[in-house]
Each structure stands twice: as structure tokens, then as C-alpha cells.
Structure 1
Amino acid sequence: MSLPRQSQEFRDGVNIFLDYAYSVGNPQGEEILCPCAKCCNFLWGQRESIYSHLICFGFVKGYTRWVNHGESVIGMDVDTGDTGEIYSCDDIEGLLDERFRNVADVEGEKEGMNEDAKKFYNLVDEASKELYPGCKEFSTLSFTIRLYLLKCLHGWSNASFTSLLELLKEAIPNLNLPSSFNKAKAMVRDLGLDYKKIDACPNDCMLYWKEHENETCCHECGTSRWIEPAVVEGDISSKKAHNIPAKTLRHFPLIPRLQRLFMCSKTAKNMSWHQKERKKDGKLRHPADGQSWKDFDNRHSEFAKEPRNLRLGLASDGFNPFRTMSISHSTWPVILMTYNLPPWMCMKQEYFMLSLLIPGPKSPGNDIDVYLQPLIEELKELWELRVETYNAARNKTFQMHAALLWTISDFPAYAMLSGWSTKGKLACPSCNYGTCSSYLTHSRKMCYIGHRVFLPEEHPWRTNKRSFNGKEEHRKAPPLLEGMEVLSHLDSMENSFGKTKTKVNESPWRKRSIFFYLPYWKYNTSRHNLDLMHIEKNIVDSILGTLLDISGKTKDHLNARYDLKEIGIRKNLHPKEIRGHRKVKFAKACFSMTKAEKSIFCDVLKKAKLPDGAASNISRCVNLAERKVSGYKTHDAHFMLHYLLQIPIKSILPDSVAIPLIRLGSFFRQLCQKVITLEEIN
């Protein structure tokens, strides 16, 4: 596959592939999936067509196991992106056996391992057992994990899983499988992928954890720990009542999961990529190229000396776990990312670590710190104490440390994690107490129009009254609050958690964030960050809602026009009341479109042909009859802002509107490049 496509060897290889693909039950005249780089195993074709495609475009990258053409899915390879190395995402035996089996044969090497690595050996032995005599596709462990995955995906009960195992063993006596669900769960637990249940107060006041583990009611609000059973008159049951907790936090221990990253030699090798293999040419490709990372290394030089010490990021957001959106429910996962890995690995789902699962039905809000306690305790341990970890790449044990660099969230979650209220007069966490805001009487919301303070002092827009709020802007940009300064504001603040407590606090600080219990947090440069995709989705919503004049989503409505009149700017847009009529007349804005123009705009989005995988079917989100666009996902908004909206905007709207919108899309497109320079950012 890596040979030049014009070479005879490549052509011979293509014929060998086609012979194999048609030898596994496909007659020569039938169509098969085309694996070329253009069709990507999505489109069907006959042999001659596929041969031409492979010669012209080559094979799709990473397709080294022909799972769509007869080979087994077990052991399917996934390309990492830049290094050319291939990593298995479904080969359980490869994960366990890849390093340890070679080491076990060397006399004396086993002595260098810690107890955790030796325990992992038992899994290697388990993985080497055949599922049944002569089975080459599955081992006992891999088959059990696949069954366990199906149980989780499809909601099988524990009893049904046990019954299935019993049926399989009865039908195939030689089958080497655990006999019950509990034994299968114990096998998975040995992988270090278990979780702990921690009961919580239903009002989010406290966790029944550590010294409060055996308490039966909340020491803050007095609410019972258990769900009170319904009492039915005349019901006399001989069964002993079983206490069911009112709310349960799932905690997935972080330390064993981080240790597992070093158990595979290929992954362990990449844990030092950020220092040993990263290009250091001043361009930004990875968080290690950023100023925050460098500031952290300069302050904590001992930590930075060991490249295998882990740098983590934390993300959290609420979602509805039920398929029907008519049920209002918000469950909050807390996920960690490992930034030691190269950029084509660290943001892949396989390397995300679910640390906490905070139950609903309501968002924890400001009380999220109550649920973050187990994670913060682990992070403190990973910073202050040494965690003995076996490194499979070197066959040595080292002392691992880890640090949390920042959080990533949308704007409401920003307030929950940082403690600064993102609502009201002082909503901007960057401007902080220097936020410039005013209340719009008619629209009944806050407006923030002081953004010109961030421009250079000689910029012509600072003296431009007409285009902005009718005033000149000569103030300097407010300084960013550093962690030490924030901590000085919060020294005297006492946290109070729980939904039942009334919080009287006029300060924009709602709490002292639990992250400040980490010794290094106050020195971090970028403690809390906003997720770009959420911002892009909000911007696209506003653009489409305003251009298409969608009710409830447009920013140009009657109340907005009255606000312009009250502020005293844009006089040509002020509403005019018609004498003797209740109706109000106001001029069209420069971005207003006629019905025919809206139809053309929607038609372009409806008929656009997009590359496979670039976005979902955006045409389904376009309603030509009503001239609306709705129901698109966040990634669709990302794609439209970067590439798609510019086409109808340029052909329909005047340059005074089209050029700023096109530049806005270009700004986000540049920001999302894989490689960007500091000059481009400035």
C-alpha cells in the first residue's frame, strides 16, 4: 500500500487484494465496497471500477486489515496519523500480551516490576487461554469483555447475563468462560477499570464518604440518605427492607487508569512525546507549545525534569442520557485528557478518562465542588506523593506525578467550575470587576459593549462614535486576574453548599473553587478555558436566526429597535409609530433579505454536496417552505461557519455585510488549524 501507485508491484498488490475480496463468497460480477481514499469503504463498485479507483487514489489510510472484505474485525488497526505506527483498538490480547509476554521469558526481568504489574501478568495468562480448543479468533478474556460490552450497550440485567453464560456453557461444554456475571465482572475489575459508588445527599450538601460513610442523614439539611419506601395499607411483607440511596455518585479511580497507560509499550513510549519528539520551531501544534505549559515548567522545574509526569485537562458538561428529549434530565460526566500524548492521540475517545459521573435529574450547579472531592484528593496525591508505576517501554518502575493544567467547558459550566458568576453586570471572567455592561430595558437583558478597550490605543475605532455606542473609548484594557490575586479575594469566603440553603452574596464570586486546594493551581496561567465548538454553535445560531429572521432566534426585533432608540444610536433603524394605528413601522437593516433571497440562501445549504465525514446531512435541517434552518448539530455549525455560509452570503448580501461575516468565518478557520504561529494569533 505504501509503494508508488504507478509501480508494477502496487498494481500486482491491488489484483491480489481484489482476488481475495472476491474469493470470500463474492461472485466476480457483484459489487463490493470500494476501499480507495475517495470512497473510504462507503460506496459500492464492480471490480474494474474499484481497480481504477485504487490506482488513481490509493487505499484509504490505515486500512491494513480488510474488515469490509472478508478479514476478521478482531485486531482491526487504526492509523495514528503522523508517526506511521499502527495501534490496535480492538485487540485485547495485543494490549495485554504485547509487552509482558516478551519480558516473561527473560530470567530475572520480572523482579523489576511492582505488584500492580505482576497482577497484570495474571491477565496475560488468562488472555492466552483459548475460548475453546482450536479457537484462533477469541481468547477467554477478549470474548468476556465483548459480552460485557454488549451487556452495557443494550441494558441486559445481571441475571440475564448469567443465564446467557450458563446457556453457552451448556451448549458448548468445552467453552472456557466464567460461570456467572459476578465472576465476569471480577475479571474486568482486575483490568483496573472498576468504579466506586459514593452516596450523596439529594440536595447536593455532602457526600457519604470517608468519615461520613456510615451516616444515614445529611448533617447539613437533615435529609435522609435513603429513598423512603411507599407504605401500602394492609401490606405485610416478610422480606427485609432494602435501603436504596437517594443519589449516587460514580467515581472511576484515576490512578490505576493512568498506570495502565504505561502498561503497553507503544503507549508508554508516546507518553514522553511532548518533550522528545515534538517539533520545537515556535509554532503551535500541541498544548506543550503554549505559554501556559511553559510557565508551568518554569515554576515547577522538578516536575518538568521527568517527561513521563502527566499533564491533564478536565472537561465537563451536562447531557440527557435518555433517548427522548421530552424528559428534563441532566447528568454530568467529568472527563480527563492526557496531554503527554501526541495531538493525533490525546483527543481521541480511546484516551479520554471518565473520572466522575454526577447523577441528575438536575444540574449540580454551584454545588459541583461537593462531587469533585474524590477527584481532587487523587490529584493532590498524584502531585504530593509518588505513585509507583511500571513502564513497559523501558521495563522499569518509576515514580509518577500528575498535574491538572486547566478546565475546558462552555460558559455556564465555566461559572460552576471557577466560582465566578457568568451572569449579570460583571459576567465577563476576563474583565472581572472591569466589565463594561448596561441593561437593555426593552429586551430585558444585559448588554456588553465595552469591547473596544482591548484595541490598541491608537486604533481608529476607539474614536468612532457612529458605528458603536455613540461614545469614544479611551480606557485601557482591564488586567487579567492572576491566581494569587483571585485567592486573596477569596481568603475570607466560606463555602456553603446545598440546594436548600439561601445564598445571600452580592459579590460575583459564588464560592472558593475546590481547584484551589491543589497546591499549584493558584500559579497556573490558564485555569479555565471556553470550548470553541460551543462558541461556534452560538455564533451560527445568531447569524442564521438574524439573516433568516427566525422568530425567537433573530437579534433584530422590535424590542431591539426600541433599545437603539433609547441609547440614541442608529437613528435610521428607530421604530416609527403610525398615527391612528397600533402598528409600528421600522426600516429594514442592511442585512435584511427578501423572501426570494432567503429561498436562495436555504437552497444553497439544501443542495450542497459535502465530503463524507465532514458533517451530517445538513440538507435535512433546511426547511425550504418555511425558509428556516434548524436541528443541526454542533459539528455541523462548525463546518458551516468555516466553509459553507460564505457561499450564499457572498452571492446575496451586500459587501458591507458579507465581508465582515466571511472574515469572521476565516478567523475561526485559522484558529482551528493544526499548525498556527504566534504572529497569526496576534
Structure 2
Amino acid sequence: MDYSRDDIDGLLNDQFRDVAQAKEVYDGPNEDVKKYYNLVKEAMPKLNIPPSYNKTKCMVKNLGLDYEKIDACPNDCMLFRNDHKDDEFVILAELHTQKVMCSKTTDSLRWHDKERSKDGKLRHPADGQAWKDFDRLHPDFALDSRNVRLGLASDGFNPFRAMSISHSTWPVMLMAYNLPPWMCMKSEYSILSLLIVGPRSPGYDIDIYLQPLIDELKLLWDTGVETYDASRNQTFQMRAALMWTINDFPAYAMLSGWSIKGKLACPYCNYNTNSHYLKHSQKMCYMDHRVFLPMYHPWRSNKRSLNGKTECSPPPPLIKGTDVLNSLQDFEKVFGKKRKRSNDGPLKKRSIFCELPYWQHNLLCHNIDVMHIEKNIVDSILGTLLDILSKTKDHAKARYDLKEMRIRKNLHPKDTGDNKRTKLAKACLSMANGEKSVFCGVLKTAKLPDDCASNISRCVKLDERKLSGYKTHDAHFMLHYLLPIPIKSVLPDHVAIALICLCSFFQRLCQKVITLEELDCLEVEIREIINQLKRIYPPSFFYIMIHFPIHLANEVRLGGPVQNRWMYSTER
């Protein structure tokens, strides 16, 4: 019996018409699937395919592409696995584990040791201080260059965002950093290790779902797994270690346990974070960056333009992993949405990664994602310069904060005679409507090379003199290349210079190849840039995302180029 391609496509469309039917097919043997196999076999007799759905499932499983479905308690307090596998429960979430090994990439696993240029420049995570320190502490692991160094990235999204459905899906991806930099962040070399699905974000209880992954990482560190090396025609015991995690800041808090809110929100400055609560704006600001300047820098004694005080404190020391672990020795592990947690201090839990025997000695455990920092900075700059409602940082409440702090008296709000209106003086960063039109016009008419960014001109609203709807990579491109042009055209020199220097800092920070000397210069420059911005922008501008650039140069020194430690590849 002969079948055309249209007949086969028609049958496939009937079988997988909706999601519920597709799920039923994959959940077990199905008569419709058997009919499909028979149909394909009759149409192409010489095609070598398994005779049934079960045979296909067994074949895929033997290839190492199987997954395990683990049920979770609705309260997010435990997984039903091991001794609790047969307990009664309500199915809420699925956690898929996938193990993938490709024999064709075994040569590339040794690239970081055999082919990497070792001239002192940072091109790869192996050039960073964290990798070198790991090799020094664990020489037995570093002895075989095929042992895999991993990075973990995770973020949540709603797959039904076009519908009014509350849902949160959290894929947990692993990247192999042994590979060359042009391979290690590609999707085909990333491993989907976990898929956490449910009606809401797991929050701090994400550790419950990470247990199977941590168990496998312990096994890969202690004994490894027997692996076949096709390039050498031999088997070896392959081990693996997790170097760090990559997340946006909310996910950073979930995985590390460090609270991203409150006066100690910076995990680098930790307990020495300089913060101030703005009474009128009702938010925390982090604007005392003079502690990072040299001790005899003239800005340390500048009271009038900054916070009204002289600064004599040294920069806060970096907290060590061993110190964090020691402080959490008596920390009670509490999981579940209905249970109370201690709110004392910024640490809200003892992270499950601390169970890895080498984790406390890693120099860089959790990366601050540069991609989201750039997006937040561009939002704040554009929102304030164009005075976009709900995005500007220079508003009436911010002026009252200046009055409360007794700084920049020329910008203090002044009450009119009728006591009904408040007069706000024009700030140096304020633009007239004509200047805003020029600013937006430059971005509207910019001609961009193909595939470097989306059509940014669509995001520019000339009539309303604002930008909206641009994506994260658009913000990256504008910060690096576009914004300095209109900024130089319409803003006063002292404002334009500070903002252009900020754009230049991120452009040089994100280089694919960078030297330690350049990082030292960038570290000095960003400290002065942030303090210069403090003399221009109101305190409400300096929320935690404006503070983080202070620490980004040191992260590159520890972990290597930014391209291997941001969320672009994972989110795509």
C-alpha cells in the first residue's frame, strides 16, 4: 500500500493536535503510535526503525538520553525520591534529569590545556584567577585536562505569557568550560540538567529541587564516571566540578541565600555595605562609594556635593567562602512555603552548594549578571534624561531627599506663596523638549549593521519623546555605541563626560580579550565615574544595580571574560 507525504503529515497532525493528546502519547504505549509506526514502515519498508513505542523508549534510554520525573510536595518542602518514593503525595512539579556525552568533542575538552594561548591575557575562564586557584588547591583534579569544569545558569519564565495563566518554569543549564570560548556557551554544548515547573517560583526552596543534581555533582567529584575517549580509543574516569553560578539578581538570592533587599544587599561589600534609606522615595540607596577611592583623594572630604560627611573608611574586605560556611554552621535548614524563617541578617539559608566539598574554597561562587546590569543602567539613564513617568529618578520625592540630607541646596524644592504647588529647580541633567526631540531623533535615525541589534528605531516614540519596548541586547548595544552620540550633543560637558565614561567602561569591560593592566585601570576609573555621577544624579538613582559596576572588573579578573559568564546564551 502506497502513502504520500501528505498522508503521513495528515496522520501526524491528527495524532498531535493538542498538548493533552501529545502528553498522553509520551506517557506510555499508545495504539495511535503503533499505527503511526506501521504506516511509516509500509511507506518506507527499508527504513530501520524500532517496531514499537516501548522499543524506541528503551533504545533512547540506553543512549543516556533518559529523564527522570520526580514529584514534589505542594509545600516545596521535599522531593518524593529515594526512601520517600512510594509515599502518598499530590503531583505538583516535574524535575527532568538529562545526561549527555558526545564522543566527538573529546579533543575539545583538552583545548584549555593544550591549545589555549598563555600570554597573560584573559581570553577564557581558564585564564582567570579562580580557575588557577582551583588547580592549586586540587592538583589531582587538574592532572587530567579532560575533567570537566562546569558553570550553572538558571532563570524563570512563564511559557504561557500570552495567556492569563500563573506558571513558572525554571530550567537549570550546565555549561562545560573546558571547551574553546566559541563553543562553551553554545546551546548545542549546554546540558539541561533540571526543569522545575509549577504554578509559582520555587524561591529560596529551590534547593529542594536541586538535590538530585547536587548528588550527581558529588559523585562526579568523588569517584567520577567511566567514560570512553574516542580520540584516544580508551576509557578513563571522568570527574567534574562546579566552578560558579550565573544568574540575574533575584535568582542570585535564591541560589546563594544572600538577601537582595535591605541595607546589606551587596554580597561583595556584605556586612560593610554602605547604604542609606531615603525617607521620601521610600527605598534604599547605595551611594557612599568614596570608600573605594584612595585615602587621600580630594573627593573623600567633599561634603557639599555628596552625602554631607567626610569619608575616612577603607574599602570593605571581600568575604571568604570559608567564613560564610562557618557563620552558617548552626543555621537551621527550613523549607516549605508555610514555615517561618529567621529574618536576622542578609543570609536567609545555607545554600545547598555548600554541600559540595570544594565549594567553600572557590574564589568566585556566584556571578553578578552583566547583561541585566546593563539593562537596568540604560533604563535609569534614559528614564531620567527623558523624564519618563515612573522611570525617572529625578522627581519631587528625590528633591525632598536632597533637602533631608542637606546637600545640593540649589535643587531643594521651594514652596510657592499659595502653599499648593512646589517649585523644582532645573537640574543639570534636565533637558528641554527640543533637546529631548534631538536626543530621540539621533536614536530614531541610527543605521545599524545587520544582526547586531533589533530595529531600535521602532522603540523610539518621537511624539512622546521617550523609548520603550527595547530588549536587553538593544540596551547593551545602545550603552556601548549609541548613547554617547546624543549625550554629547545635548547635555552639559560635565554631565556628558561622566555618562560617556560609563559607556566606555562597559564597552572595554566586555572585550573578548583583556589584560590585567586594563582591568586595573578600569577598576580605578569606575570608582571615579560612580562618584562623579553622585554629584549629578539624585540619591534615588543609586540603587543596587548602579552599585555593582564597582565590583565587575574584579569578577573579570577572577572568572575571565564577561562573555562566558552572562545570561545571553541561557535566556536565548
Which category describes the TM-score, using the shorter chain as reference length? 0.7 to 0.9
Q: Secondary structure at the match of 1:250?
A: coil
Matches for 1:430-469 after TM superposition, within 5 Å: 430-469=268-307
- 1:97 maps to what in 2? none
Cα distance between partner residues in 2 of 1:152 and 1:657 = 59
CA contact 2:156–2:171 (8 Å) conserved in 1: yes
- 1:220 maps to what in 2? none
Q: Secondary structure at the match of 1:331?
A: strand
CA contact 2:224–2:240 (8 Å) conserved in 1: no
Task: Give 1:566 deviation, angstroms.
Answer: 0.3
Q: Secondary structure at the match of 1:197?
A: coil
- 1:275 maps to what in 2? 113
Matches for 1:162-561 after TM superposition, within 5 Å: 164-216=36-88, 225-226=89-90, 245=91, 247-253=92-98, 256-257=99-100, 260-261=101-102, 263-264=103-104, 267-324=105-162, 326-561=164-399
Cα distance between partner residues in 1 of 2:418 and 2:251 = 50
Q: Secondary structure at the match of 1:616?
A: coil
- 2:431 maps to what in 1? 593
Cα distance between partner residues in 2 of 1:329 and 1:460 = 53
Cα distance between partner residues in 2 of 1:547 and 1:533 = 21
- 2:460 maps to what in 1? 622
Task: Tell me the amino acid that sits aligned with residue 344 of structure 2.
Answer: E
CA contact 1:193–1:252 (8 Å) conserved in 2: no
- 1:575 maps to what in 2? 413
Q: Secondary structure at the match of 2:243?
A: strand
Instruction: Please say which structure displays the higher CA radius of gyration.
Output: 1
Task: Give 1:164 deviation, angstroms.
Answer: 4.4
Task: Tell me the amino acid that sits aligned with residue 298 of structure 1.
Answer: R
Task: Tell me the amino acid that sits aligned with residue 206 of structure 1.
Answer: M
CA contact 1:251–1:374 (8 Å) conserved in 2: no
- 2:532 maps to what in 1? none
More deviation in 531-540 or 413-422?
A: 413-422
Give the direction of change, closer, same or farther, for the CA distance of 1:375–1:440 in structure 2 (3 Å limit).
same
Task: Give 1:161 deviation, angstroms.
Answer: 5.8
Give the direction of change, closer, same or farther, for the CA distance of 1:485–1:529 in structure 2 (3 Å limit).
same
Task: Give 1:171 deviation, angstroms.
Answer: 4.0
CA deviation vs aligned residue, 1:232-279 (integer Å, no higher than 9, x gap)? xxxxxxxxxxxxx1x1232324xx42xx13x11xx1101011111100
Task: Give 1:616 deviation, angstroms.
Answer: 1.1
Task: Tell me the amino acid that sits aligned with residue 366 of structure 1.
Answer: Y
More deviation in 169-178 or 381-390?
A: 169-178
Cα distance between partner residues in 2 of 1:424 and 1:375 = 31
Q: How many residues align?
A: 503
Q: Equivalent pairs: percent with the same residue?
A: 65
Task: Tell me the amino acid that sits aligned with residue 75 of structure 2.
Answer: N
- 2:544 maps to what in 1? none
CA contact 1:151–1:161 (8 Å) conserved in 2: no
Task: Give 1:623 deviation, angstroms.
Answer: 1.4
Task: Give 1:341 deviation, angstroms.
Answer: 0.2
CA deviation vs aligned residue, 1:470-494 (integer Å, no higher than 9, x gap)? 2121101111111111111001111
Q: Extract unaligned runs of 5+ from structure 1.
A: 1-131, 133-142, 217-224, 227-244
Task: Give 1:323 deviation, angstroms.
Answer: 4.2
CA deviation vs aligned residue, 1:167-187 (integer Å, no higher than 9, x gap)? 433444554444554444444
Give the direction of change, closer, same or farther, for the CA distance of 1:151–1:308 in structure 2 (3 Å limit).
farther
Q: Secondary structure at the match of 2:69?
A: strand
CA contact 1:314–1:334 (8 Å) conserved in 2: yes
Task: Tell me the amino acid that sits aligned with residue 457 of structure 2.
Answer: S
Cα distance between partner residues in 2 of 1:659 and 1:181 = 66
CA deviation vs aligned residue, 1:72-104 (integer Å, no higher than 9, x gap)? xxxxxxxxxxxxxxxxxxxxxxxxxxxxxxxxx
Cα distance between partner residues in 2 of 1:378 and 1:153 = 35
Using CA pairs under 8 Å that are at least 6 residues apart, name the structure with larger relative contact order, 1 or 2: 2
Give the direction of change, closer, same or farther, for the CA distance of 1:675–1:152 in structure 2 (3 Å limit).
farther
CA deviation vs aligned residue, 1:274-307 (integer Å, no higher than 9, x gap)? 1111000110000000000011000101111110
Cα distance between partner residues in 2 of 1:452 and 1:332 = 39
CA deviation vs aligned residue, 1:147-172 (integer Å, no higher than 9, x gap)? 99x97999971266655444433444
Cα distance between partner residues in 2 of 1:404 and 1:369 = 16
Matched, 1:666 2:504: yes
CA deviation vs aligned residue, 1:584-628 (integer Å, no higher than 9, x gap)? 110111111111211221122122111111011112211112112
RMSD: 2.3
Q: Secondary structure at the match of 1:426?
A: coil
More deviation in 304-313 or 173-182?
A: 173-182
Q: Secondary structure at the match of 1:404?
A: strand
CA contact 2:95–2:209 (8 Å) conserved in 1: no
CA deviation vs aligned residue, 1:111-139 (integer Å, no higher than 9, x gap)? xxxxxxxxxxxxxxxxxxxxx9xxxxxxx
Give the direction of change, closer, same or farther, for the CA distance of 1:356–1:153 in structure 2 (3 Å limit).
farther
2:402 equivalent among 554, 560, 564: 564
More deviation in 667-676 or 177-186?
A: 177-186
Cα distance between partner residues in 1 of 2:405 and 2:163 = 40
CA contact 2:328–2:350 (8 Å) conserved in 1: yes
CA contact 2:93–2:198 (8 Å) conserved in 1: no
CA contact 1:309–1:402 (8 Å) conserved in 2: yes
